[in-house]
Structure 1
Amino acid sequence: MKKSLLVLSGVLAISAALAGCGSKSEDKPAETSGGAATSSTTKAPVTIKVQAWYTEAQGNWNKTVEAYNATHPNVKVVYESMSEKGDSQEGMKKLDLLAASGEQMDVVMYSSASDFAQRVGAGILEPLDAYLKKDNIVVKDEYKLDPVVNGKYYALPGKMIEWFVLLNKDKLDAAKLPVPTEWTWNDYAEYAKKLTSGEGAAKQYGSYFHNWKDYALLGLNNNMDNPYLVKSDGTENIDNPQVRFSLNLRNQLENVDKSSVPYFEVVSQKMAYRDVFYAGKTAMLATGNWMVGELAQNAKFNTVFAPYPKYDAKDTNGLTEVGADFMGVAANSKNKQAAYDFVKWYTTEGIQTQGLFFSGWKKADINKNVDAILASGKPDQVKFIDKTSLLSTLKVNKSTKLVVPPTYALQQEKEYLTQVELFLTGKQDLEKTISTAKAKIEDIRKSNAK
C-alpha cells in the first residue's frame, strides 16, 4: 500500500524551513482566525483543509466531510487529495512541500509510525495535549493505540491496521486445503508449496511478499513488546532469532522452494501487491485490514481470511503487528482548534460514517464496522468476500504494542532493507546481513544522539 522510503534530504530541508514554525508552537489551544478560542464560538465560518493521499474512491472523503459540515455550521471542511493514484508516499512528499512553502495546512495524516515520527521531529505537527486535557480525553483509555512521542501527543489514530492473510478460496479448494484458523509460518510455507503451480510467465505462486520492511520482519511482527526493527530508544532489534527466522523463511520460499514471488521480480517489475493478488498470480497475501474495503470494490474471486501466522506454535493465536493512519493538526494552521475538533470527530465517529476502514476507537463495534465496509462496496464484488472467516479472524486478532520509533527511524529502515536485498538476491549470507545492518542502525542512532 504505502511504505517505500522517503528521500531524507527533503525532510531535512523541511526541518530547516519549519524551524520557526515548530519551535514557536505553544502547547495550548490556539485561537481561530475568527479570534475565538473554540470553533463553536467563531463568528464566521472558517475553512479547514484535510490533506491526505487517498483518492475519493479509496477514502469516501467527500461524504465524510459533508457529514461533519452538516452538524458544524461554523466550519467548512474540505478534503484535498495529495496523490492522483492514492499513493501514500507520493502524498506525504507533497505534504512536506506544502509545509516548507507555507501553504495552508490544517489536518494532515501520515501512514506509518516512522513517517509520523519523522514529521514530529521536523516540527510539522502541533502538540495536542492541551486540547485533549481540555476535553478530558485520556488517549490510551479512549483508543486502542497510544501514539505518544516523548511524552506528548501530536496525532490521534485514524484507521487502525491489523494484519491477516488473504487466500484465494478457489485455489484452496483445488489443492484440497482447509481455511486456516490457527497456523504458524512453517504451516504457511507448506501451504505456499502446495498452492504453487505452472511454469514461466504462467506460473502461479502460493505466496507473495512485498518489499516493505514488514515482510522482512515476519516473525518479529509476532513479538508483543518489541515488534519493530529498533526499540523505542533507537537501539537495534534485529540481532535475534525472530529476525533470522524471518529472513531464512523468505529465502526458503523465494529461492529454494520457488513458491513465493522472487524479490528480484517484485522490485524489477515494480509489482503492486493488490494487482498480484487480484490477477491470481498469488494464492496468499499477508496484508493489512485496509484491504477489506478495497476487496469490496475490486474482488474477482472467492476470498477467505486467516489469522496472521505465528512464529512459534505456542504463541498467541492472531497476534499481529499494528499500525494506523496518524491524524494531526499542522503546526502552521491558522485554525488549530477547528482542525483539532475535526480530528477528534473523525477518529471516533467519523471513521464509522466513512464506512471503509477499521476504527482505532475502543467504543467502535466490530460487527457494525464490517457491515458498513461491505455495504459501501459493489454487490458483484462483495459477494466474493467470505464474511464468516473475516469476522472470526478479526475477532481472534490481538495487537502487539505500537512502537512509535525515533524521528530518524526511516534512515534505519532504509539501511536494514538495503542489507535484506543483498541477502535475498544472493549477494551476501545471513550473518553478514545481520551484522552489517546492526552496525549501520547503531551508527545512525549514535550520530543522532550527538
Structure 2
Amino acid sequence: MKKSLLVLSGVLAISTALVGCGKGDTPAADNGKDAAATAKAPVTIKVQGWYTEAQGNWNATVEAYNKTHPNVKVVYESMSEKGDSQEGMKKLDLLAASGDQMDVVMYSSAPEFAQRIGAGILEPLDDYLKKDNIVVKDEYKLDPVVNGKYYALPGKMAEWFVLLNKDKLDEAKLPVPTEWTWDEYAEYAKKLTKGEGAAKQYGSYFHNWKEYAELALNSDMDNAYLVKPDGTQNIDNPKVRYSLDLRNKMENVDKTSVPYFEVISQKMAYRDVFYAGKTAMLATGNWMVGELALNAKFKTVFAPYPKYDAKDVNGLTIGGADFVGVAANSKNKQAAYDFVKWYTTEGIQTQGLFFSGWKKADLAKNVDSILKNGKPEQAAMIDKDSLLATLKVNKATKLVIPPTYALQQEKEFLTQVELFLTGKQDLEKTIQTAKTKIEDIRKSNAK
C-alpha cells in the first residue's frame, strides 16, 4: 500500500506541476467585511464528479438541497467535459495532489474507490454514521465496508440487464425474454444478425470493459470479480472460462457479436452502437434508462441479465454504485457528510436520472421520475412494463471491494483477454497467464 501511495503521489505531483493552479482555488475572505457577517455566510461545499450537467441534472439537484439548507451553498463541479469517468478520476487525483478545495467526491467503481482509500484521499465516515444511528448494510442495497470502516456511501445504483431493439425483435418474431441463459442469449444473437459488410446488423455487442470479459461471473453471488477481496485470483472460476469461450464463439466463429478488433480499432462507443441499430441487443447497466429517456431512437424493451445455468436465480447480476464520500482534506467535513447522506437517500430521487441504492426508495416512483426528466417523445419509446418487470427481479451480487492494487490486476487480465479475442493465443494460455500475472501482482504488493 505504501508503494502504491508513493507512486500515485509522485505521478500526481508531476501532473500538478504541469497543469499549474487548479480550478478549485477559493478566494480569501474580504478582510474589510464585518466579522459577524462573514461568520454567518453560507459554507460553500463542492461536489466533484465526472458527470456533465446533461448527464447528471446536478444544478437542479444541489439547488433543491440549498433551498432546505440555508447555511450551506453546494456547487457541482464536473471533472470531464465529455462525462468520461476515467478522465474525471484523473482530474480528481490532480485536485487531491494540488491541495485545491475538495469536499464531496465520487468514484465510479470499487477498484477506483479502493485505490483512493489507499492513497488517503477519503475521510472515514464511521463516527458520523454512528452519531446518526445509521447501519449501512440495513439502509443500502450495497455494503461498501473496507477493513471494517466506511469511506463512502452508495450513490447511483448500477444493476445490469439487457436492452433489446423492439423493432428488430418483432422482425425476427422473437418474444421479449423474461428469464434466459447465456446460451439462449447466443441463440437470439444468431437470429438477430443479418446483412454483410458496413451495413451488417449484429445480434450482440460486448464492450472492452472487464465486465464483458466476465459475463457469467457477473452473476456469481459470492464473488463476481476477477480477484477475491484478499487479492488472490478468481480466474479458476469456471464462469470465467465459459465467458471467454462464449465471446470468442460469438465474435469469431458465429460472427453474431461485433468483433473485439472492431470495437477497439474503431474506438466504438457502446451507446452509439445501440442507437445506430448496429446491434439488436446490449447487456449494460440501468444508468441507460435515463440516457434512453433523452436519446432513444426506437422502442427499447428490457430483459433480465442472462443466467450461467438454467437453475440459477433469475435476475442475479453484478451490483455496482458510485461511491460518494468526503475528501480527507475538506475543511467542512460535517457539511460535506450531511450532503452525502442526503444525496444517497432522498437526493438521487430528486435528481431523477438514476436508480437509488437506498432500500427505502420507491422503485416505481424512481422510474417515473427518470422518465419525467427525459424528453416526452424519447421517454415514450421506453417499454415501461418490461423495464419494471426486469427491475423487480434484479438482485445484486455481493459487493467485492478489492485491494488497492486491483486496477493493475484488471489491466493484466484484459491484456490477456485481448490477445485471446484477437486470435494471438488460445484460451488455455490466456487463463494460465492471467492467473500467473494476477498472483505476481498480489505477491509484489504483499511485501
**TM-score scaled to structure 1, two decimals?**
0.92
Q: Is the 8 A contact 2:157 2:320 kept in 1?
A: yes
The reply to whether residue 432 of structure 1 matches residue 429 of structure 2 is yes
The separation in 2 between residues aligned to 1:371 and 1:9, in whole angstroms, is 47
The letter of the residue matching 1:413 is E
Q: Deviations over 1:396-429 (max 9, x none)?
A: 1111101011111000000000000000000001
Q: Deviations over 1:43-93 (max 9, x none)?
A: 431101000000000000000000000000110000000111000000110
The reply to whether residue 232 of structure 1 matches residue 229 of structure 2 is yes
Equivalent in the alignment of 1:98? 95
The separation in 2 between residues aligned to 1:230 and 1:214, in whole angstroms, is 13
Indicate the RMSD between aligned Cα atoms, in angstroms. 1.5
Q: Secondary structure at the match of 2:77?
A: strand
The separation in 2 between residues aligned to 1:103 and 1:10, in whole angstroms, is 20
Per-residue deviation, 1:11: 2.8
Structure 1 gap ranges (5+): 1-6, 18-32, 34-41
Structure 2 gap ranges (5+): 15-28, 30-38
Q: Secondary structure at the match of 1:127?
A: coil
Q: Is the 8 A contact 2:13 2:98 kept in 1?
A: no
Equivalent in the alignment of 1:325? 322
Per-residue deviation, 1:239: 1.5
Q: Is the 8 A contact 1:15 1:123 kept in 2?
A: no
Indicate how the Cα distance of structure 1 residues 237 and 306 shifts in structure 2: closer, same or farther if over 3 A, else same.
Answer: same
Q: Is the 8 A contact 1:14 1:96 kept in 2?
A: no
Equivalent in the alignment of 1:285? 282
The letter of the residue matching 1:187 is E
Per-residue deviation, 1:9: 9.2
Q: Deviations over 1:209-243 (max 9, x none)?
A: 00000000001111100110001111000112110
The separation in 2 between residues aligned to 1:169 and 1:329, in whole angstroms, is 43
Per-residue deviation, 1:14: 6.0
Equivalent in the alignment of 2:166? 169
The separation in 1 between residues aligned to 2:285 and 2:366, in whole angstroms, is 15
**Residue among 286, 304, 308 paired with 1:307:** 304
Per-residue deviation, 1:380: 1.0
The letter of the residue matching 1:361 is W
The separation in 1 between residues aligned to 2:111 and 2:40, in whole angstroms, is 39
The separation in 2 between residues aligned to 1:309 and 1:434, in whole angstroms, is 23
Q: Which moved more, 1:231-240 or 1:416-425?
A: 231-240
**Residue among 216, 220, 223 paired with 1:219:** 216
The separation in 1 between residues aligned to 2:60 and 2:400, in whole angstroms, is 32
**Residue among 407, 411, 414 paired with 1:414:** 411
**Residue among 208, 224, 243 paired with 2:240:** 243
Q: Is the 8 A contact 2:304 2:394 kept in 1?
A: yes
Aligned length: 421
The reply to whether residue 263 of structure 1 matches residue 283 of structure 2 is no
The alignment-based identity, stated in percent, is 86
Q: Secondary structure at the match of 1:178?
A: coil
The reply to whether residue 199 of structure 1 matches residue 196 of structure 2 is yes
Q: Is the 8 A contact 1:293 1:357 kept in 2?
A: yes
Equivalent in the alignment of 2:364? 367
The separation in 2 between residues aligned to 1:14 and 1:235, in whole angstroms, is 27
Q: Secondary structure at the match of 1:251?
A: helix
Per-residue deviation, 1:132: 0.5
